[in-house]
Amino acid sequence: MEDLCGKSILFFCPTFFDYEKEIKKNLEKLGATVIWFDDRPSNDFFSKVILRLNKNFISSKIEKYYDSILNDLIAKGQPVDYVFFLNPESINLRSIKKIKKQYSQAEFILYMWDSLKNRRKTHELLPFFDRKFTFDAQDVKPYSMVLRPLFFIDTYKSEIISPVYDLLFIGTAHTDRYKFVKKIIAATNSAKLVVYPYFFMSSKILFIAKKIVDSDFRQVVYKDILFKSLKHCDVSNLIAQSSAVLDINHPKQSGLTMRTFETMGSQRKLITTNSDVKNYDFYQESNILVIDRKNPVIDMEFFKKPFVPYSESVLNKYSIEGWLRTIFNLS
């Protein structure tokens, strides 16, 4: 059903493991015309670092980037019904004001899959959006946002097969993740669990930089790190071959990770450090085990409990289509 038929969406989202492509594709399946732009003017290593530290250092570059986009859209006479920003990193007040002025009749929608405590400069953008969504329940009341958890894409709807691995971890080697997974592997050795860890980093330069500036990171062994990001089909295949997936949330965020929902879509068990998962409608003890981040102990009985398949209504709700229907207020 093409609920967005005839509608035009101006979509800004940083490139992130091809999720921007999946969102664009699914909006088009709903009938929309989607004009996507990366939120960032550049994706080189140093630009990303500067954006995280203080985007004011490249404010001129950011403004020129958004001016060129807006001028091109105006020249083409492009109509816009929705302006959709997903987790913006670079846009500043000057640029969003210009877009808002040009498309004053459009509905402006914001979705954050980072906690606002980690994105201080995003606060100043909030007044320009008609509807604001967050994946983190802690941001709902302080910023008058609507809680909408993340989603899984269709790639993760896989047939249940006999597992090869007991426990799978795939993730970037940041914060305390590396040390945590190593603890889990050591703790499960006696039970002879087959654990598959995939530690990813985006570049060798970043690895070296973290070795220099982060004392905790110095224990990370180079041979344990992989610098090739997995495609969704590869991640899906690994999850399908695993009895359970280990999820380690960011210590400064309570929102449920994408991995939580990818595991759900794959109909696999989840072991997570995020106790907030117990507050959601799909939580059940036979499928989800919460462990202590500081003292991780896995109850081996969890692996013996039968998995309870998620209902179609739950799977539909947390699919990418279900997510988009909420964001764009579709029935």
Residues 257 and 118 in one domain: no
103 versus 176: the higher-pLDDT residue is: 103
51, 89 contact by CB (below 8 A) = yes
For 146-173, how does the pLDDT look when each residue is reduced to its tens digit (9 = 90+)? 999 999 999 999 777 789 999 999 998 8
* Continuous segment of H or E residues that includes residue 25: helix 19-29
Least confident of 8-12, 36-40, 250-254, 266-270: 250-254
To the nearest 10 degrees (0 to 180), the angle between helices 320-327 and 19-29 is 70
Computed from CA positions of residues 276, 229, 168, 190, in that sequence, does the dihedral angle turn out positive or negative? negative
- The highest-confidence range among 168-177, 208-217, 235-244, 250-259, by mean pLDDT, is 235-244
pTM listed for this prediction: 0.91
272, 264 contact by CB (below 8 A) = no
Q: Considering the domain boundaries, does residue 319 fall inside one?
A: no
The pLDDT of residue 161: 79
Residue 45 reports pLDDT greater than 80? no
Cα dist from 330 to 14, 54, 307, 324, whole Å: 24, 37, 32, 8
Residues 306 and 168 in one domain: yes
Residues 67 and 195 in one domain: no
Residues 190 and 307 in one domain: yes
Residues 178 and 286 in one domain: yes
The CATH number that applies at residue 201 is 3.40.50.2000
Residues 144 and 158 in one domain: no
Q: How many domains does the chain have?
A: 2
Q: Considering the domain boundaries, does residue 331 fall inside one?
A: no
Looking at residues 274-300, what average pLDDT do you find? 94
Residue 169 CA to residue 207 CA, distance in Å, equals 19
Q: Considering the domain boundaries, does residue 38 fall inside one?
A: yes
Residues 135 and 161 in one domain: no
Instruction: Map tokens 């691995």 to a residue.
Output: 165
Q: Considering the domain boundaries, does residue 317 fall inside one?
A: no
Ramachandran quadrant class, 31 (left: phi over 0; alpha: psi -120 to 50; beta: rest): left
Residue 45 CA to residue 19 CA, distance in Å, equals 20
Looking at residues 75-85, what average pLDDT do you find? 96
Residue 28 reports pLDDT greater than 60? yes
107: β partners: 82
Residue 95 reports pLDDT greater than 80? yes
Burial-class residue 140 by CB neighbours within 10 Å (0-12, 13-18, 19+).
middle
Q: What is the mean pLDDT of the chain?
A: 91
Residues 205 and 62 in one domain: no
Q: Considering the domain boundaries, does residue 329 fall inside one?
A: no
Q: Considering the domain boundaries, does residue 326 fall inside one?
A: no
Domain-ending residue, one of 104, 119, 148 = 148
- The highest-confidence range among 176-185, 208-217, 300-309, by mean pLDDT, is 300-309
Residue 28 CA to residue 23 CA, distance in Å, equals 9
Residues 130 and 56 in one domain: yes
Residues 6+ apart with CB under 8 A from 310: 264, 267, 282, 287
264, 160 contact by CB (below 8 A) = no
Residues 132 and 169 in one domain: no
Q: Considering the domain boundaries, does residue 298 fall inside one?
A: yes
- Provide the residue range defining the domain that includes 159: 154-311
Chain centroid to CA 168: 18
Least confident of 127-136, 186-195, 221-230, 232-241: 186-195
The pLDDT of residue 239: 96
Chain centroid to CA 243: 23
For 246-263, how does the pLDDT look when each residue is reduced to its tens digit (9 = 90+)? 999 988 889 999 999 999
The pLDDT of residue 52: 59
Residues 158 and 237 in one domain: yes
To the nearest 10 degrees (0 to 180), the angle between helices 59-76 and 93-102 is 10
The pLDDT of residue 9: 98
For 102-129, how does the pLDDT look when each residue is reduced to its tens digit (9 = 90+)? 999 999 999 999 999 888 789 999 999 9
Amino acid at 178: Y
Residues 114 and 160 in one domain: no
